[in-house]
Amino acid sequence: MAKISFDDFLKVDIRVGQVVRAEPYPEARNPAIKLWIDFGPEIGEKRSSAQITAHYVPEVLVGKQVLAVVNFPPRQIGKFMSEVLVLGVSDPDGGIVLVAPDQAVPVGGRMH
């Protein structure tokens, strides 16, 4: 495992956002869901494509808080521009489970 400094860690801007819109993304190479996430007035609304279909459908994601890296460069995923990286952890079968606060917190809050 590569070691990083605390200063390196601080360069990664991880914020809490709230999903305001979610749609299936059948055109993606791997099953995915398109997300529109509100990160509050400082960052605004950003888009992401997430391979989370093993545990989520679009309808249950709207209103959910998630953690995402907001300072990576945008990445083209098929015809969809993904602007943030939503964080998740693999379950034993490889399905992704989203990382989220266990209590409601203000959108835009930075992870410490």
pTM over 0.85: yes
Cite the beta strand spans of 1-112 per DSSP E. Answer: 14-24, 33-38, 45-50, 65-69, 75-77, 80-82, 85-86, 88-90, 96-98
Domain locations in the chain?
14-98
pLDDT digits (tens, 9 = 90+) for 17-76: 999 999 999 888 899 999 999 999 999 999 999 999 999 999 999 999 999 999 999 999
Taking alpha carbons only, the member of 63, 53, 52, 57 closest to residue 98 is 52
The CATH fold assigned to 14-98 is OB fold (Dihydrolipoamide Acetyltransferase, E2P) (2.40.50)
